Chain A
Amino acid sequence: MTRQKATIQERRQFRNGLLFALPWLIGLTVFGIYPILSSFYYSLCRYDGIRSPHFIGFQNYHKLFFEDDLFFKALYNTLYMVGLGVPLSIICGLSVALLLNQKIKGMAIYRTIFYLPSVVPVIASSILWMWLLNPDIGLINIVLHHLGVAHPPAWLGDPAWSKPALLFMGLWGVGGGMVIYLAALQNVSESLYEAASLDGARTIARFRYVTLPMITPVILFNLITSLIGSFQYFTEAYVMTSGGPQDSTQFYALRLFNSAFQDFHLGYASAMAWILFLITLTCAFVVFKSSLKWVYYEGETR
């Protein structure tokens, strides 16, 4: 087929289409692309937010890598949350979804109960958890005491336990991912299970060779979103610990926020944002590349 010149009709349609999309395009340019590009420019500047930015080349980046101990601490803390938190949330979310996928009475109620925490605003649940995790009068330690733990951890009061405490608290919110797994699980065709059963597959084998491959696209989705979410871990630390004790909960986004709005080093904070962007991008890229090997879309074989 040869390419034909667009008719007047087509051109008009293109123009109209463009006009209809224009508000969004303008929005994207003004509120999306422009700020992103200018943040890169600011990352090369000393910029206090009041006076005009002053170009200093790559000094901010140099300072981040060679002079700022807190930067690496924040990076480590964040990687800790990503490395442990992401797998944990996937495993727990999936496990709960599997349990809630059983056919027993009152399932709708159980599902609601598990999903409920995800509806609670993060600030509210953070404040609630501050009480639960209270070393002396918190419910968790009271229970641990009754179970015979003589010296339960001080949780948010102890640098060794503050991050595990936050991870633990994060599990309370697995409901969000769970709902998505649940939807995927319900989509797995009965006929596949039947066929597997006829071939002699037992529960574990059915899960391993039918369920798991069939829901890999959803696992990929949850992996990517929770990866990005964990890199941006902020609210809980801002509300509950403001980075302490001993900087053990100084997370990347929190440090970035403080650089920008406590120290008013907006250029420095922009540089941090770009490094985080590159890290997140790389991780997402690696996950996507690897997904070719482990994600199955319907009808595909590998």
Chain B
Amino acid sequence: MKRKGAAKFSLLATIVIATGCSSKTSDRVEITYWTGWSGHEFGIQQGLVNEFNRTHPTIHVRLVSQFGNSGYQKVRIAFAGNATPDIMSTVWADELADYAERGVLTPLDNYLAKSGRNFDAEYVPALQHSLRVDGKVYGLAVTTDTGFIVFNKKTFREVGLDPEHPPKTPEALKEASRRCTQVDADGSMKRYGYRPTDLRMWAHVFGGDWYDPKTGQVTANHPKNIEALKWIVSFNSFIDPKRAEAFQATFGNEKTTSGPFFVGKIAMWQTGEWASEYLRRYGPQVEYGYFPFPAPADGRPNSTYQNGSVFVIPSACPHKKEAWEFLNWLTSEYPVRIFSSTIGNVPPLIQVKDTPRFTKDKLFKFAVNLSHGKNGFGPPGIPMWPTYSAEISRAEEKAVVGGEDPQKVLDDLQRRMAKEFAETKEDLGR
């Protein structure tokens, strides 16, 4: 009997622990918050949570770290088992639509309105789109990111390029890359200029799209997407993709002094706002400049892809009011300023842009302005985007490394994704 009792108890304990749901202790409501941040970033979150707990006597937030990939997978399982916390930041912007369309997230529009917040006036354009699904806001963010190219001025001078006038068109970028690329007599690479590897992003720069919200159709073989892929493939004329990949395998970690840009293995580095810190720490000897992804005349200048962690309130947990109170505070100006400036991420709130941390550092200022611009963009807000996105990379590899025809691979991708999308919609509609 005793044993049975123990078993019952442990089962109960497991259920209680596993659900992680909020519980009411005395007159303080305890809510659970899952975060994906770890290390010193977790510490800063914890500091903010402590501050909230101190200043809000009726709510107690319990911060739980769900670090790493398994943390993000756990989210899925938690949704499946109705065992979600009250609030979590362990959802990628990529996945937001997938969850929202399945009805497991709380739409935040009413809460935002009640708290007197103006989402569109507060958030940068890219996030206005990517945090919305079917017109409703499902997530908020405290950080965002950006992408651009940092280049080595000394190398530019050596190969006869003007370091004060970095490339302004894709063709100019290709030419600059060609000039910076050095290949040994036996064909192995010593340095390359720039090697485009992100069709998802470059298609946007070229003016293409992966999804058309007006028609509600995927547009994988958009003419501009094909143009972008052809341009990426054209780099093969001076950078042999197999050689390049073997060469890339020798690259050291970017977070060390042996990062490829710091040791001169690449002359142009596709990176983000973190470059400012990395350059200071690991490559102080490099004389560098930076420029946004150059767009063709009919493309989108100053494009930058913005993904990142998103805060959501699952629809399953009971203390939504308290969860919102916490989220409302955490996404307000002061905590966002503290968090984004201490961890060195771009703030998603327009007002926070002029924090000295972001304006004093020239590179950071450039990064922040870029991600606050009108051509910042995020995931297209459709379910199945993670799958679609992985398939875009496969298609790109088929064309670049496998030598298949760009038009053909994207037509093929379109056919498969259109079918997949139709099936997903049908499944969601039932």
Contacts and interface: CB of A to CB of B under 8 A. Distances in A.
Interface of A: 46, 48-51, 54, 67, 134-137, 150-151, 154, 156-159, 244-247, 258, 261-264
A135 B246 contact: yes
A50 B401 contact: no
Given A49-B80, A150-B186, A245-B397, A263 B242 contact: no
Nearest to A70: B394
B195 to A, nearest CB: 14
A136 B397 contact: no
B38 interface: no
Interface stretch (B27-35, B136-144, B198-206, B382-390): B382-390
Contacts of B397: 244-246
The 8 closest A-B pairs by CB, nearest first: A135-B246, A154-B246, A136-B250, A263-B387, A157-B245, A157-B246, A50-B102, A49-B80
A244 B396 CA distance: 12
A245 B401 contact: yes
A156 B249 contact: yes
Interface in B52-108: 73, 76-77, 79-80, 98-99, 102-104
Contacts of B249: 134-136, 154, 156-157
A48 B246 CA distance: 38
Max chain A C-beta neighbours (<10 A), residue from B79, B99, B103, B246 = B246
8 contacts: A46-B427, A135-B249, A136-B188, A154-B245, A157-B249, A245-B245, A262-B387, A262-B390
Contact of A246 (B104, B390, B401): B401
Q: Which range contains the number of B residues in contact with the other chain?
A: 20 to 34
Given A150-B186, A156-B249, A246-B401, A54 B77 contact: no
A263 B416 CA distance: 14
Contacts of A151: 186
A107 B154 CA distance: 60
Interface in B229-286: 242, 245-247, 249-250
A60 to B, nearest CB: 11
A50 B104 contact: yes
B402 interface: yes
B184 to A, nearest CB: 11
Contact of B76 (A49, A154, A247): A49
A264 B98 contact: yes
Contacts of B394: 247
A246 B394 CA distance: 7
Nearest to A160: B242
A48 B102 contact: yes
Contacts of A159: 401
A127 to B, nearest CB: 13
Nearest to B388: A263
Nearest to A130: B249
Given A50-B99, A136-B250, A157-B242, 10 more contacts: A50-B102, A135-B246, A135-B250, A136-B188, A154-B242, A159-B401, A244-B397, A245-B397, A258-B390, A264-B98
B386 A262 contact: yes
Nearest to A46: B427
A284 to B, nearest CB: 31
B430 interface: yes
A48 B95 CA distance: 13
A3 B87 CA distance: 66
A244 B77 CA distance: 28
Contacts of B408: none
A260 to B, nearest CB: 10
A135 B79 CA distance: 43
B398 interface: yes
Contacts of B242: 154, 157-158
A136 B102 contact: no
A258 B386 CA distance: 11
Nearest to B252: A137
Contact of A54 (B247, B250, B427): B427
B387 A48 contact: no
Contacts of B390: 258, 262
Given A247-B394, A261-B73, A134 B250 contact: yes
A242 B420 CA distance: 23
A50 B247 contact: no
Contacts of A48: 102, 427
Nearest to A250: B394
B384 A263 contact: yes
B245 A136 contact: no
A136 B430 CA distance: 54
Interface in B403-418: 416
